[in-house]
Amino acid sequence: MRNTMPVYAVFSILVSLLILGCNTAAEQQEKAALRAALAQKIALDFRYYCKTTPAKNQRCTMPLTELPEELADMISRTNLGGVILFAENLVDIPQMVKLNYQLQSAALASSSKQPLFITVDQEGGRVARVPRHLSTPFIGSMGIGATYKAHDVAYAQKTGTVIGQELHALGFSVNHAPNVDVNVNPDNPVINVRSFGEDAKIVSILGNAQLIAMQQQGIIGTLKHFPGHGDTHVDSHTGLPRVEHTKEQIKAVDLAPFAYAIKQGNAHIIMTAHIQYPALDSSTFVAKSGKTMIKPATMSKTILTDLLRNDMGFNGLIITDALDMAGISEFFTPEQAVLETFKAGSDIALMPIAIRSPTDITRFDQLLDSLVDHVVAGELEPQHILQSVNRINSLKQSFNIAAWHQNPLDTLTAKATQTLANDNHKALEQALADDALVVYKGAERIVKTDRALMLVMPDKTKCNALETALKAQRTWQKLTCTTLYEVNENQSTDTFSEFDSLLIASISPNQSAAELGGMEDLKYLKEINMPLAQKQTKIAQLLRQAKAAGKETLFVSLRAPYEMTHYAENADILIATFGYNAHTELDSKGNLTAYGLSYSALARLLSGDIIASGSSPVTVAQ
């Protein structure tokens, strides 16, 4: 076990600084100790990094895939406590192992000798940062929820084990999963299939099972988003959601999965939600715009300390959701955000500022200096800071996260290569995709003979993925695919004359910033997402025209199945896969081809090789 920061010694020094005063040399030494303690309470992202500061009105878009000397020095010099990596940071197995090794080396060279929390969002399904073609990302939580009736917690446990094994082999120490939000709002734009379902008891059981399995592999799990993100209609990446549940609803639904894991003794990290919960805390703050608003949970001492810490008995780490999200950044400056969430009871502030160039290193130093000043001014209590540092260091030691770094880099790379996406892991991934399929209507009509299919998919990659999967199963009379963006909804009946069936697949809700990475993806999302009303009108019209032409009509929900309500009248068959992700790679002939487990499962179902055994984890009106 490595030496820990001398917490009580630091505490006594801080007391003398605040109360008795001291000479300048001693004061500087004591402030340095305090500064190092505060740095342990911050986790930064290095998604992009440029050696020179971009010109005004430009931004750095160079992915950071190896650690530059100036960032290594910043980590060591400041005693930074954690980092979060994104897809842009993760290229291939040797590179991922090396980057995490470099990060951990820098942390262990600090004065505190404390290892980094190297964290990632690897929920599975929509939100997965490790390259899909190199790992086992699975189809996600709602797909696991669809298997609960037939398989109980088996898939939650097995996916937790695999995700934990793969992340640990790469050198990660914390996974910001599982998501235990109870999705009771069909229009939820950011959670939906990231949730196990709408039943709080089932979400509790599955979330806890996955959490245990992950942590048994040495990866600390994060339960999110407290006190619950399941009944929002606003994405906290783009705004500040508000939940109007009563206290009784909150206890029975939103808090239940967190309370269950805490009671079982398995919860070590809980992530806050940037959401207003007036039934829990209706106190207000003045935003940087001057507007008076209800505090979001991330800034609420009533919610984080009184409720979570005291009433619910949580003694682990409280980490914020990303502080650069609009639910916080539009109302607080970075300094205010960190100050207020620390005052509320958070242990770790996640992504308060983006580190994109040397200028941002200076900004981080300034942030730490300002936090020291807030302590000296009495706005932050030294005792609370040191309690946080104790919790952080104790958790790092209890999971012995520095042990991975003690192995030679070549050994670590070889182990990761053997672990990631091995045959057993990929077989489990396909089995889950198969067993998660739910047929909501027309199971008896799924034709098991060759036929001519016209496919309409959300984009070209998904066209390629389903066509590839279908062709791998059998030879079809005719198979063609177009995208929803390209097809004309005012088709003549002649359009369908060469086909037996029309299959339309859809993703609803549209992609959010969470699944791609964060706030920097918003511009891209606006360019690719068709307005929901336009999409629904177009799909309904195509199904209606094909049905009028006497063709079999199939609608496939690739994400949240609630959208089936709009198409039930004109679709003979309704299918849900709960997953839509596909990746591209070179096939045996050197052609760039798209693959996705959900498409393979769908092709196997349409070919008659499997039957759908999943049960809907949410209510779908038809």
Q: Which residues are catalytic?
A: 321
What are the CA-CA distances from residue 161 to residues 144, 369, 419, 424, 532 (Å)? Answer: 14, 41, 12, 12, 37
Task: Give the chain's radius of gyration (CA, Å).
Answer: 25
- Yes or no: say if 455 and 503 are a contact pair by the CB < 8 Å rule: yes
Extract the tokens encoding 585: 């790679």
In the chain, the amino acid numbered 87 is A
Extract the tokens encoding 442: 């027309």
3-state helix, strand, coil in the chain (%, to 5): 45, 15, 40
Instruction: Name the 3-class secondary structure at 107.
Output: helix
DSSP letter at 465?
Answer: H
What are the CA-CA distances from residue 414 to residues 173, 407, 427 (Å)? Answer: 19, 11, 21
- CA–CA separation, 500 and 337 (whole Å): 58
- Yes or no: say if 69 and 102 are a contact pair by the CB < 8 Å rule: no
- CA–CA separation, 308 and 347 (whole Å): 13
- CA–CA separation, 615 and 254 (whole Å): 23
- CA–CA separation, 525 and 146 (whole Å): 28
In the chain, the amino acid numbered 226 is F
Residue with tokens 């999965």: 257
Spacing of C-alpha 193 from chain mean position: 11
- Yes or no: say if 99 and 86 are a contact pair by the CB < 8 Å rule: no
Spacing of C-alpha 300 from chain mean position: 23
Which residues make beta-bridge pairs with 119? 84, 174
- CA–CA separation, 156 and 573 (whole Å): 28
- CA–CA separation, 265 and 284 (whole Å): 33
* 456 phi, psi to nearest 5 deg: -125, 115
Q: How far apart are the first and last CA of the chain?
A: 59
- Yes or no: say if 198 and 619 are a contact pair by the CB < 8 Å rule: yes
- CA–CA separation, 298 and 319 (whole Å): 9
Strand pairing report for 127-128 and 174-175: unpaired
- CA–CA separation, 130 and 321 (whole Å): 20
